Amino acid sequence: MLEKLKRLAQKALLDRSLAPLLRSCRQLVSERGQANVYALALEVIERYKTLPAAQREAFFAALATGFSPHPDQVLAAATRYAESPAAGNLATLTQAVEPLRQELLRRVNRAPGGTLMLLSMRNDLLGLLRNSPELAAVDADFLHLLSSWFNPGFLRLERVDWQSSAALLEKIIHHEAVHEISGWADLRRRLQPDRRCYAFFHPQLPDEPLIFVEVALVQDMAEAIAPLIESQPDAAAAASARTAVFYSISNCQPGLRGVSLGNFLIKKVAAQLSTELPQLKTFCTLSPVPGFARWLAQATTEGGDAAWSAALQRVNAWRQAHPTPAAPDLASMPKSLQEDLASLCARYLVSASHEALGDPVARFHLDNGARLERVNFAADLSRKGIKQSLGLMVNYLYDIDSVEVRHQQFMDNKVSHSSAVRRLLKPAP
């Protein structure tokens, strides 16, 4: 792994087209004059913009090797601190272990457009990590700084409505990742008084939503997605609604992967809605289960009880008979088989949420302190919903007074779930 990194870095040093960019980077971190820092940061940004995609791996490899701490300096500083743990020695050690590329990123961030460029650079880097895991140290520096700069305390919560700018509304359509927005009429329905959309914005990116959540104000916990996005607007419903259903949350900036924003967004929106509409009593989600079909395809009867094995065999037999199921196939599914499917989904979410094949949406909400409340059959009959979860969706309940306790339960490898889910964990033999 290290040898590959060295080869890539050497390639970068010999590549004449990369040399100007690397030279600008070195000048930027060594410059002391503030005016020159701005000029050099802009130079780095412009040169990175013109860098061919094929050369980005070599560039990041050069950052991984040529902008890392010097081992001899780290060892000397660590030795002095070990011998005398004084404040000055600690400061010297801290300075020695910090990669120079962190200062490079800080200085790029000072330039106009620097923050957006860093997000773009990290997005490029994330695309390289699968085949070049040795670049993980560079990504760790990006994540360290972005987590500080995009701390929720710096972010602005804004309601998106039909009066928002057309440019912002187009971005909402483009970035919706859970339930596709089919056009302007569809978007307008989702912004009516009985529906809400809220987004986080950063001061350096005032026109770029970072993440947004869509909310339906209804009477009861929703069990299917179609009524939420296809029903007719009802302005009076918002004033009498008792339940807020978070039915879609979408990240708009791939470069912020790993920066925790969604949990703060949900909690902040819940707090704002409680103030605006004090009659609201229930805050919940209607969530997809994108990992379920994949897990079901790999599940085995080994280690399971007789009822579990029988349910799995029945569902797998149905899937073999319906290799590409559609909504009519689910509609004709026997009631007993529907119960088997819901039972298996409940088992998946309760037993596998801490494992590699665990559902990412479940991990997000459970780690955020929600409770797995209900499994809903035929809740998402879109092609995507059927492919990912055979049409199942689940509700997670956000009891604001209990989220910290339930978060700790999840950290202790326990999944908080309702009595209704508990009953599903015991399928019929």
- Specify the residue for token string 């994108």: 290
- Quote the CA–CA distance of 29 and 5 in Å, as a whole number: 22
DSSP letter assigned to residue 303: T
Residue 345 burial (C-beta neighbours within 10 Å; 0-12, 13-18, 19+): buried
Instruction: Kindly list the catalytic residues.
Output: 287, 365
Amino acid (one-letter) located at 294: R
Residue among 391, 419, 429, 233 nearest 313 (CA): 429
- Quote the CA–CA distance of 217 and 410 in Å, as a whole number: 28
- Quote the CA–CA distance of 354 and 200 in Å, as a whole number: 28
Q: How far is CA 231 from the centre of its chain?
A: 28
Residue 55 has phi, psi (to 5 degrees) of -100, -5
Give the pair of three-digit tokens for residue 412: 């202790």
Provide CB contacts within 8 A for 348, sequence distance 6+.
Answer: 289, 291, 292, 295, 296, 299, 359
Contact 189, 229 (CB under 8 A): yes
Identify the bridge partners of residue 218 per DSSP, sorted by sequence position: 243
Residue among 394, 361, 364 nearest 376 (CA): 394
Q: What angle do CA 301, 294, 421 make, to 5 degrees?
A: 65
Helix (H, G, I), strand (E, B), or coil: what is residue 299? coil
Helix (H, G, I), strand (E, B), or coil: what is residue 217? strand
- Specify the residue for token string 């998946």: 348
Contact 371, 399 (CB under 8 A): yes
Give the pair of three-digit tokens for residue 413: 């490898």
